[in-house]
Amino acid sequence: MFRFTNVLAAFALTVGVASGAQAASYSFSTADSPIYVIDPNNPSPADANQGWWSNGYGGSNDNPNAVAGDTTNYLYRNFFTFDLSGLSLGANEKIVSASLSGFTHSVEVAGGPYETYALYDVSTDAATLNFKSGVNLAIYEDLGTGDSYGSRNFFTTDSYKDFSMNLNEFAFEDILAAQGDFFSIGGALLTLDNSGFREWVFGFSGDFPFKLNVETQISAVPLPAAFPLYGAGLAVMGFLGWRKRKKAAV
């Protein structure tokens, strides 16, 4: 009976070590490592790696507003860039969740009860994307096309509140590929109705930074590597059994 129960105990111990995992959390802000600093002698929150590109209105590098939508005259798509130089995942570490978070500021709705805002991958390099001067239709298109990272409905009642949007596995893959470098996310409204009324999210967001939050899981020991531990556990249990039998014999 001793041998059987202790073999089970050793197995449970080693399998528990093998399958055990721990979580790690990472947070990145658009305020980290600004790509363009307007005044090197006076850095400010306006240097954040965020902003918008329009289909007809020229932007400027001193405007960190991240509005997306329709101001009745022009259409806007926004972007957020994060410095992932501090992200270096190990071989046994994988992303299990990621999100974009921040403060909504102004939400305007037209033609329905809400506006649907979607996030996309960005192919424009971070330096070009963050040089927010003039009009560039290619960048504007890039911010609302490609692989979608997820979407969310925003109501007017969401104005001036904290928000969070979950990112999907397409985002996980691109975050992994971008670790050690800059990673950008584009955003666009899917429900624009061109009604002539204002409809947007993150209006007047100013220099309020946005965050990328990443959760990972680290496997403590790959299962194949557990077998030597299992053998060691059996040896320890066998030794303890031998001592118990020897003591009983005496």
The ranges assigned to domains in the chain are 21-219
Cβ–Cβ < 8 Å for 115, 201: yes
The C-alpha angle with vertex 148 and arms to 163 and 104, in degrees rounded to 5, equals: 20
Provide the H-helix boundaries in 112-225.
Answer: 126-130, 137-142, 169-178
Cβ–Cβ < 8 Å for 167, 149: yes
- pTM of the entire structure? 0.82
- Neighbour-count burial for 35-67, b at 16+ CB within 10 Å, e otherwise: beeeeeeeeeebbbbbbbbbeeeebebebbbbb
Q: What is the Cα–Cα distance from 179 to 250, expressed in whole angstroms?
A: 64
Question: In tens digits, what is the pLDDT along the chain, a chain of 250 residues?
Answer: 545 455 444 444 445 445 567 999 999 999 999 999 989 898 899 999 999 999 999 999 999 999 999 998 899 999 999 999 999 999 999 999 999 999 999 999 998 999 999 999 999 999 999 999 999 999 999 999 999 999 999 999 999 999 999 999 999 999 999 999 999 999 999 999 877 799 999 999 999 999 999 999 998 765 555 555 545 554 545 545 545 555 555 5
Provide the H-helix boundaries in 124-222.
Answer: 126-130, 137-142, 169-178
Other CB atoms within a 10 A radius of the CB of residue 169 amount to: 12
pLDDT score at 247: 53
pLDDT score at 111: 87
Residue found under tokens 């979607």: 118
